[in-house]
Structure 1
Amino acid sequence: MCKDNATSVNEIFLQGFKNLYNYNIVFFLFILLIFIVILVGNLLIIVSVSVSQQLRHPMYFFLKNLSTADVLLASNILPALLHVILWEGGHLSLTGCILQYYVHSCLLIAQSYILTVMSYDRYLAICYPLHYATIINTKNCLYLVSFSWIFSCILMSSELIIIVQMEFCGSSVIDHYFCDIAEILQISTSYNMILMWDDFVVSLLCVFFPFLLIVSSYICIFFTILKISSMSGQKKAFSTCSSHLLMVCVYYGTLNSIYIVPSGDNSQNDNKFKSLIYIVLPPLINPIVYSLRNREMIESIKTLTYKHVRAEKCWRV
């Protein structure tokens, strides 16, 4: 119960980018274009991997799940952002705010675990090629991916339980375009040390430890590649993991830019733009990296497009 006649918060007002209100149409179109590119690029990967016989490989199965997380992450935040930009702010129920944060965090954790699984896949493929087919079989792939999705939801459930028991009284204005942990703590009047410690533990389990595993995997991969005698063999081995390594750098680089790198004087605006970068950049870069740098993916997309065009012509006839 709220004390001292304070009003219980049932609805949140998201202010968005106040300094860009004069350019809201241009900003709206820019974000809309990015959202469309993210959806088209990642859905193309999902469909291609699902229907193509050429892409029946564990790495593409993991990539499909990563693209699924990218689509869901963008769809959770960007439509709401478009509404906030167009109407110079937006209202969201407290329940919707908490749910948005929960879904957002689950998807970020799932991305982290899937990237870790992909690094393990590359580690086995390069360091232990003779054991690769035995370990990374269809059954184990399903186990690894299922763990990534389910454990991310379980981890965030502890925070969700704490948040729903907190009191929200007084101010209902959030100077942001979506509900993140800092903004939820800002409008809460409850003792939040337990939530902060829980968030710290979750961050260790879903960001720090997976990052250590990825770094350890690539250290082993690089030493194994250096042992290859021919230069062509080294290039071929490195090319099999270069796309994934680039995605790891983009994911953790953008994530650390907001949670580790200190902000400047205009910290709130800095955080808004940094968070926009880590929400938009990985889903945007992922299809480009895996499409333009992968011959099998390009051929699969061409075949899929050709079949669609041919089917459309036959339907018209």
Structure 2
Amino acid sequence: MHQGNQTSISEFLLLGLSNKPEQQKLLFVLFLGMYLVTVVGNGLIILAIGLDSYLHTPMYLFLANLSFADISSISTSVPKMLMNIQTKSQSISYESCITQMYFSVVFVVIDNFLLGVMAYNRFAAICHPLNYTTIMEPRLCILLTVIPWVLSNLVALTHTLLLLRLVFCDSNALPHFFCDLSPLLKLSFSDTMINELVLFVLGLSVITFPFALILFSYVCIVRAVLRLSSTEGMWKAFSTCGSHLTVVLLFYGTIVGVYFFPSSTDPDNRDKIGAVLFTVVTPMMNPFIYSLRNKDMKGVLAKFIHSKKWFCL
């Protein structure tokens, strides 16, 4: 990384969500609870899908990947935040900060791509039910799983390489609870125009292409469902999309609410709110949405929890 030539600081200070000492215990308990709920909830989904052959379908393959990404996303930021609160230390090394930034980008981007892939899977299942197994063949499923991970790492690598060329001097205090890309750019003494341009272009592409795929898929799904003569058939078709559509609305609703309709708060607080929603709240909500709205998942989870496998674990 040529740190000696690029920066005169060896660590950053994470100022966290609040500088009031009396709020630290509350933040520790709150985020520890959300972290445990997220890990256990998504972990159960991964275990249930892995152990029950009935769920070895493309839809649940993508869901398992989403759950793994959610566990990884919250694990990138929250454990370090909890450790800093517990030890009353705000420091994070330069290398650890860059690494944390890299993986935080990877897992937010992968969530976005996987939502697009899952929408396409719903489109194939509802609009082409007779050809579904032919369309979603194992080779395509593997491809649709691998490509989002590759693209996400390429996006993160691009931001990381551009960040490593920046100079950080004197001020090393990040007004955030983890090393997010935007606060790091604001802290640099270098010209960040290229970084901000790449951030805008890649960010717009990462949001636009999956959202366009989701929009196309659901327009086709609605048109196909409305052609059904049976009301029961229409309701069943729509209900199979309920979980995914709820997660999509939560994910993109957060983007719109935080970044397109900002409140009167300053940009630093807005970035913190967005980061908490993306890296903590959304990963925590996904298991509840998919398990509570999915009969198959509820049945498998109930059977798994009451089985001997659960007690052995």
Superposition TM-score tier, normalisation by shorter sequence:
over 0.9
Whether contact under 8 Å (1:122, 1:241) holds in the other structure is yes
Aligned partner of 1:195 in structure 2 is: 195
- Name the SS for the 1:132 alignment partner: helix
2:278 corresponds to: 278
Deviation at 1:135, TM superposition (A): 1.1
Aligned to 2:127: 127
Which residue identity is paired with 1:51? L
Q: Secondary structure at the match of 1:157?
A: helix
Counterparts of residues 1-317 of structure 1 (less than 5 Å): 8-87=8-87, 90-308=90-308, 312=312
Q: Which moved more, 1:303-312 or 1:209-218?
A: 303-312
Percent identity over paired residues: 35
Q: Distance in 1 between matches of 2:21 and 2:105?
A: 28
Partner SS state of residue 44, structure 1: helix
* Contact 1:38–1:284 (CA under 8 A) maintained in structure 2: yes
Q: Which moved more, 1:110-119 or 1:215-224?
A: 215-224
Kindly state the Cα deviation for residue 302 of structure 1 after the two structures are TM-superposed. 2.2
Cα distance in 2, alignment partners of residues 20 and 162 from structure 1: 34
**Which amino acid in 2 is paired with 1:218?**
Y
Q: Is the 8 A contact 1:35 1:74 kept in 2?
A: yes
Structure 1 residues not aligned, in runs of 5+:
none
How many angstroms apart in 1 are the aligned matches of 2:264 and 2:289?
31
Secondary structure of 2:54's counterpart equals coil
Shift of the 270–191 alpha-carbon distance from structure 1 to 2, 3 Å rule, reads closer
Distance in 2, Cα, partners of 1:17 & 1:222: 42
Q: Which whole-Å CA distance do the structure 1 matches of 2:87 and 2:310 have between them?
A: 42
Q: Is the 8 A contact 2:262 2:270 kept in 1?
A: no
Task: Report if the CA contact (8 A) 2:185-2:192 is conserved.
Answer: yes
State the secondary structure of the residue aligned to 2:307.
helix
| Shift of residue 22, structure 1, vs aligned partner | 1.2
C-alpha deviation, 1:71, in angstroms: 0.3
| CA gap 1:18/1:302 in 2 versus in 1, 3 angstroms | closer
Partner Cα separation in structure 2 for residue 310 and residue 169 of structure 1: 52
Moved more, 77-86 or 48-57: 77-86
**What SS does the aligned partner of 2:258 have?**
helix
Q: Which amino acid aligns with 1:254?
A: T
Mean alpha-carbon deviation: is it higher for 296-305 or for 60-69? 296-305
Q: Which moved more, 1:123-132 or 1:40-49?
A: 123-132
Partner AA of 2:24 in structure 1: N
Q: Deviations over 1:201-254 (max 9, x none)?
A: 211221122112211211111111111111101000001111100011111122
State whether residues 11 and 94 of structure 2, in contact with CA within 8 Å, keep that contact through their aligned partners in structure 1. yes
Contact 1:112-1:206 within 8 A present in 2 as well: yes
Normalised to the residue count of structure 1, the TM-score between the two structures is 0.92
3-state SS, counterpart of residue 18 of structure 1: coil
Q: Give the distance between the partners of 1:273 and 1:310, measured in 2 at CA.
A: 36
For the residue of structure 1 that corresponds to 2:53, the secondary structure is coil
1:118-172, CA deviations, whole angstroms, 9 ceiling, x for partnerless residues? 0000011111112211011222111100001111101221221111121111201
Higher mean displacement: 127-136 or 31-40: 127-136
CA distance in 1, matches of 2:288, 2:12: 36
